[in-house]
Amino acid sequence: MSEPTREQTERHEITQDGDDILVKQAAESMAAAIGFEESAAAEIGIVAVELASNVLKHADSGEVALSHLTDGDREGVRIESFDVGPGIANVDAAFEDGASTAGSLGGGLGAVNRLMHRLTVTAPGEPDFGTKVVADRWKRKPASATRPCPLSFGAASRPAANETVNGDSFVIKRWDEQALVGVIDGLGHGADAHEASMAATEYVETHYDSRMEAIFDGTERACRGTRGVVMALARFDWDAETVTFATVGNINYKLTDDTDLTVVPRRGVVGSNGPDPKVTHSEWRPGDRLVLFSDGVDSHWELPPARSMADESATVTARRLLDQHSKPHDDATVLVVSEQVADHSD
């Protein structure tokens, strides 16, 4: 991935109370000038004040740099903070919700992670050299779909018996000629598993159009301080007729026999120093089908022939498979991607 171009950079010294508010105002102004919507510009301001506040809290002084980025036809903002001093002693803990600096508007580095598309943190490595944080946010393009979606997406999920909350979750996001779907399973079940899956789901749903590797990186940070999750994601592009797949952990899948997609599983837990996913790309043809399911669903069954499901929507298929194959004492989720069901109303 190539490094974006800096079209403009402003540098602000952070030495005393009030400097963080000035940086916030400058970040919001730069974002507005680039064309971010008002709500997005306000979120960029939250990140700026959070990083500036970290400088004041963890070091004697430092600097925040604001840059206007371009990368091909994309435009964005980069916020960098550098502090002179000991830096953040425990970077992992700073990502946990509730680790906000005093008087700031965010929630520690966890808020920065959720609000920005890319985040890197360099922990202290030398005496008097503190923490460096680099956070990028890209402006989303207006919706421009020109081809109707030929795919049907559906999911069904339920908690384990005697549980009031579900430790599983799923994602279905559509935009332009693309869609991102996924199944997320918090480790175990109950409230702790639910907390982990919700942290992951929130991150994925707000970063759906990022690169697969970046989504997994950000979800890893978002789930620190939780039990962690296992997760599988698939992105469909029906204009290019392709699918991109990535997974970490034991989310299961079934595909039609002649589908070209090759899934490379990776052992691990997202949120507990999980491995990078193996991302694979494949052609996606009319008639191909994908079923993703958590380990609360038995895997010893065969995907029925497409002709037997020609009049069944993906949602109906997901509910039926959940009813037929789920295990009662674990959270269970099924997600189905298939062709759109033909309308025979005429």
CATH at 35 = 3.30.565.10
Q: Is residue 332 a part of any domain in this protein?
A: yes
> Which residue type does 133 have?
V
- 244 in helix, strand or coil? strand
Closest to 282 in 3D by CA, of 307, 298, 257, 262:
262
Residues 119 and 209 placed together within one structural domain of the fold? no
Residue entry with tokens 């990078």: 276
Residue 233 in domain: yes
For residues 155 and 212, membership in a common domain is answered with yes
Q: Which pLDDT score, from 0 to 100, does residue 13 have? A: 93
Q: Which of 93, 96, 91 is nearest to 125 (CA)?
A: 91
In a domain, 281, yes or no: yes
Q: Which 3-state string (H, E, C) describes 91-146?
A: HHHHCCCCCCCCCCCCEHHHHHHHHCCEEEEECCCECCECCEEEEEEECCCCCCCC
Look at residue 103 and tell me if it is in a domain. Answer: yes
Count CB-CB contacts under 10 A for residue 39.
Answer: 8
Q: Considering the entire predicted model, what is its pTM?
A: 0.84
Structural domain ending residue among the three candidates 114, 138, 162: 138
Residue 340 is predicted with a pLDDT of 83
One domain for residues 71 and 25: yes
Residues 48, 20: Cα–Cα separation, whole Å? 7
Flag whether 99 is in a domain: yes
Are 238 and 112 in the same domain? no
Last residue in a domain, options 74, 107, 138: 138
As averages over each run of 10 residues, the pLDDT of the chain (346 residues) reads 86 92 95 94 94 83 93 93 73 58 52 90 67 91 79 96 95 94 96 96 94 95 93 95 95 85 88 92 90 96 72 90 95 94 52
Same domain, 15 and 106: yes
Q: Kind of pairing, strands 61-71 and 74-84?
A: antiparallel
Instruction: Please indicate, yes or no, if residue 87 is contained in any of the structural domains.
Output: yes
Q: What CATH code is carried by the domain that includes residue 257? A: 3.60.40.10
Parent domain of 59: 5-138
User: Could you say which of 81, 114, 138 is where a domain stops?
Assistant: 138
Does residue 254 form part of some domain?
yes
Whole-number Å distance between alpha carbons of 230 and 253:
13
Single out the residue of 113, 53, 112 nearest to residue 83, CA to CA. Answer: 53
252 and 164 co-located in one domain:
yes
Residues 132 and 266 in one domain: no
* 18 assigned to some structural domain: yes
- CA 332, CA 295: separation in Å to the nearest integer? 7
Instruction: Indicate whether 203 and 227 sit together in one domain.
Output: yes
Instruction: State whether 39 and 103 are in the same domain.
Output: yes
Q: What is the number of H-type helices and E-type strands within the chain?
A: 7, 14
* 129 and 157 co-located in one domain: no
**Angle 300-305-309 from CA coordinates, rounded to 5°:** 105
Same domain, 114 and 164: no
Count of the separate structural domains present in the chain: 2
Residue 198 Cα to chain centre, angstroms: 11
Based on the domain organization, do 60 and 102 belong to the same domain? yes
